[in-house]
Amino acid sequence: MKISAKAEYACLALLALAQQSADAPPVRIREISDTHAIPERYLVQILLQLKGAGLVVSTRGASGGYRLARPAAKIALSEVLAVIDGPDTPQRGSAREKRPAARILGVVWDRVRAAERSVLDTTTIAELVAQTAPHEWTI
């Protein structure tokens, strides 16, 4: 599985937005860019794609910026990757090959893709934010 830099940047941007509380002001592009070392012009393009897909909303003006369009728990990684890199297309080789060895390998590759898809479909932005948030331990 290959994840493009653009898709990774999109995920980082969504994580940054998800870390904000609901009553916090929108997050500015520069803040995300500086925090995650994403080129600002590139981030603008990414956020426009995410906005077009309904994953983020923007607010204009001096106090403007971006925020999530819906709860982070309702945004799966698979959706983000599909928005940025397009739909998942099968790689070469499949279970329909005529040669037995190629057919066996095709079945394995199909299973690997299915496992990847399952992880991406069930991993949400909220889960990732929870893993990045500092934990307070009470003893």
Q: Quick one: pLDDT at residue 136? A: 63
Whether the Cβ atoms of residue 121 and residue 113 lie closer than 8 Å to each other? no
3-state secondary structure of 124: strand
Residue 109: inside a domain: no
Six token digits for residue 61 = 């003006």
Domain that holds residue 78: 5-87+124-132
Report the alpha-carbon distance of residue 72 to residue 17 in Å, rounded: 9
Q: Does residue 95 fall inside a structural domain?
A: no
In a domain, 115, yes or no: no
CB-based contacts of 124, cutoff 8 Å, min separation 6: 72, 73, 74, 75, 76, 77
Does some domain include residue 54?
yes
In contact, 57 and 70? CB cutoff 8 Å: no
pTM: 0.84
User: What are the backbone dihedrals phi and psi of residue 37, each rounded to the nearest 5 degrees, phi first?
Assistant: 55, 45
CATH of the domain at 68: 1.10.10.10
- Give the integer Cα–Cα distance in Å for 61 and 65: 8
Contact 121, 43 (CB under 8 A): no
| 100 domain-assigned | no
Residue 96 has a pLDDT of 59
Question: What is the pLDDT at residue 139?
Answer: 63
Mean pLDDT across 19-44: 93
For residue range 111-133, list pLDDT tens digits in order.
999 999 999 999 999 999 999 86
Q: How many domains does the chain have?
A: 1
Q: pLDDT tens across 39-69, in order?
A: 999 999 999 999 999 999 999 988 889 999 9
**pLDDT (mean) for 89-95:** 56
